[in-house]
Structure 1
Amino acid sequence: MSISRRNFLAAGVVGTVGAIAPLRARTTAKESKWKPNRIGISTYSFWQFKNKDWRDIEKNIDQAAEWGFDAVEILHRQMENEDNATLQKYKKRAHALGISLNGFSTHQSFMYPSAEERKKNVEIVCKQIELAYAMGIPTMRVNTGTWRTSKNFDELMKNRGIEPPIQGYKDQDAFDWVIDGYTACLKTAEKCGVTLGLENHWGLGRTPEGLMKIVDKINSPWLRVTCDTGNFFEEPYDKLEMIADKACLVQAKTYYGGGLWYTLDLDYGKIAKLLKKHNYTGYISLEFEGNEDVRTAIPKSLELLRKSFAAA
């Protein structure tokens, strides 16, 4: 059967496009420019457990959008109501303002000798995962908990996050409890599509070795790491590098006006380059933890993070 010149040329064009398309895709991916990380803010930055005028989360969302943030991370303990109507209100408000709800910062502890207490915390985490899912939030900060042998948080900070175990127990006991606890939460995390980010936040997560001992043992895509830039007192860059490969969220501390408990002199240009080296393209979530008025300190923090991560 003969083929017309028009059909012959059309077939040739289709064949050529088909042949070069994969190469073009590879070239585009290879030559694509690095995009600066999007910058969000934790509602903790406004409230700080003390600024009652800034507790309202909708007010935080409004202000974050006005100042130019890309996203908001919600602190669970700041919520005064967690019924579904409230959760949908937060989601709707953020969407209307063109920003994301990028994280849910929660508290829990598996460092209890009591199996009943640990089971109770599995239920707490699973409920928190469902809250995140209802708000369309894809990542949730979680903790190991602490031994609670410090008198209060001020004493824990005075001792640089170090505290002795409960009498009769050792850290290895707690590692086993935490590993079992988060393993029990993974089905709910996978079902809801919410990645848990274990933070370097005191307790067993005080050191990168302790944090990664848990994450590597569980070895699940639904348990990663929330990197807090301000929770390693010594050699912060080396320690952040040890956990950066598993990061699902980065919380960035600033301390304008002096820190509430301590102040670290962090080089965000260096941190941005470190995260780029490890191909971290996710959100940076500001946690302002200083004494300066939030109305001046937060915009300065945003400017610092924007410049640092744009230059990486």
Structure 2
Amino acid sequence: MEPLNNRRNFIRNSALTALGLGLATSHVSSNENNIKKNVSPRRNRIGVSTYSFWQFNGPKSNAPIEDCIEKAAQMGFDGIEFLLRQMQSEENSYLQKLKRQAFHAGLDIMGFSTHQSFIFPEKEKRNAEIQKTIHQIELAYQLGIPTMRLNTGRWGTSGSFDDLMANKGIEPPLEGYTEEDGFEWVIDAIEQCIPTAEKCGVVLGLENHWGLGRTAEGVLRIVNAVNSPWLQVTSDTGNFLENQYEQLELMAPKTFLVQAKTYLGGGKWYTLDIDYPRVAEIFRKVNYKGYVSIEFEGNADPMEAIPKSLETVRDAFTWYE
């Protein structure tokens, strides 16, 4: 009988062992599921500039804002940034129609890209640009947009924009003037816009966009001199042609909006190979929780390139805690 008893004991012990392993495996699996439940993804919201669908290629009627809203929603964006020069009108009825459409499409209108220049020796010209900028702030308010892109402007000594790009955005001051003059004009002009920005609740974001804003140091010199919570920074990932990551790090603490350039199909003026996980880490270190707005500036078909850009940027700006 002993061999039979041994066999029975072996079978019983094997069954108990298997049951124990099963329970242990189930316990581990349960723990893994609990860990996954407790680790939730965090991400920045991603928007897209209407510029991405147009890029100044042909008349602006080629890419109506209304079409951009619908396309952005279909592609899965969280928000949309309006380029003022692309809008068909500044009448209130048109603005409210766009606001209604964006809300119904499930999109925040999260940014407003405008153009102005304060680099003029003539006070009358600077005053005209100040009044134009104040009007643009009021348009942003009517649209319910929380932040507006601001430029310093440039000297205009390069000739065409193509010439400026060929020279990496560098141009000499007007004869008889210095960059110190330019900084004084820009700081004074923006200071005159701040009361309207505060009244309307629109944060001005000075962009690294050529002129005196070609470098992070230039942007921060102006922002720090104005010293107002209503003037912050719009950080464009594609407008630094040297030491781009180091310069983005300098501006990151004061950044209110990130504009993320992409160049699928090759860029219109140049192509940058931007390491977006590295860019995202720069802004994560300063606890940036705001929008990232894609500006596609490549030669590929926007309807194919913009969704690919969204995938790249969204992956980079998603992390787990």
Q: TM-score, normalised by structure 1?
A: 0.88
CA distance, structure 2, for counterparts of residue 285 and residue 109 of structure 1: 23
Aligned match of 2:6: none
Secondary structure at 1:184 match in 2: helix
| Partners of 2:41 and 2:319 within 8 A in 1 | no
CA distance, structure 2, for counterparts of residue 78 and residue 200 of structure 1: 21
CA distance, structure 2, for counterparts of residue 307 and residue 255 of structure 1: 17
CA distance, structure 1, for counterparts of residue 87 and residue 178 of structure 2: 34
Q: Deviations over 1:9-60 (max 9, x none)?
A: xxxxxxxxxxxxxxxxxxxxxx996731000000000010005464200100
1:151-170 equivalences in 2 (<5 Å): 151-170=159-178
CA distance, structure 1, for counterparts of residue 136 and residue 63 of structure 2: 19
Residues 32 and 107 (structure 1), Cα distance of their counterparts in 2 relative to 1, 3 Å cut: farther
Aligned match of 2:115: 107
CA distance, structure 2, for counterparts of residue 136 and residue 122 of structure 1: 21
| Partners of 1:194 and 1:222 within 8 A in 2 | yes
Q: Deviations over 1:168-200 (max 9, x none)?
A: 000000000000000000000000000000000
Q: Does 1:44 align with 2:51?
A: yes
| Partners of 1:54 and 1:60 within 8 A in 2 | no
Secondary structure at 1:176 match in 2: helix
Please say which structure displays the higher CA radius of gyration. 2
> Which residue identity lines up with residue 173 of structure 1 in the other structure?
D
Secondary structure at 2:77 match in 1: coil
Q: Does 1:233 align with 2:263?
A: no
| Partners of 1:40 and 1:73 within 8 A in 2 | yes
Percent identity, aligned pairs only, is: 57
Secondary structure at 1:87 match in 2: helix
Where does structure 1 lack aligned partners over 5 or more consecutive residues? 1-30
1:20-99 equivalences in 2 (<5 Å): 35-50=42-57, 52=59, 54-99=62-107
CA distance, structure 2, for counterparts of residue 178 and residue 170 of structure 1: 13
Residues 311 and 148 (structure 1), Cα distance of their counterparts in 2 relative to 1, 3 Å cut: same
Q: Does 1:179 align with 2:187?
A: yes
Aligned match of 1:201: 209
> Which residue identity lines up with residue 50 of structure 1 in the other structure?
N
| Partners of 2:84 and 2:113 within 8 A in 1 | yes
| Partners of 1:269 and 1:311 within 8 A in 2 | no
> Which residue identity lines up with residue 46 of structure 1 in the other structure?
F
1:253-272 equivalences in 2 (<5 Å): 253-272=261-280
| Partners of 2:236 and 2:259 within 8 A in 1 | yes
Residues 307 and 173 (structure 1), Cα distance of their counterparts in 2 relative to 1, 3 Å cut: same
Residues 32 and 90 (structure 1), Cα distance of their counterparts in 2 relative to 1, 3 Å cut: farther
| Partners of 1:46 and 1:54 within 8 A in 2 | no
CA distance, structure 2, for counterparts of residue 51 and residue 228 of structure 1: 24
Aligned match of 1:26: none
> Which residue identity lines up with residue 207 of structure 1 in the other structure?
T
| Partners of 1:103 and 1:141 within 8 A in 2 | yes
> Which residue identity lines up with residue 64 of structure 2 in the other structure?
D
Name which of 145, 170, 190 aligns with 2:198: 190
> Which residue identity lines up with residue 79 of structure 1 in the other structure?
M
Secondary structure at 1:160 match in 2: coil
Name which of 224, 232, 252 aligns with 1:216: 224
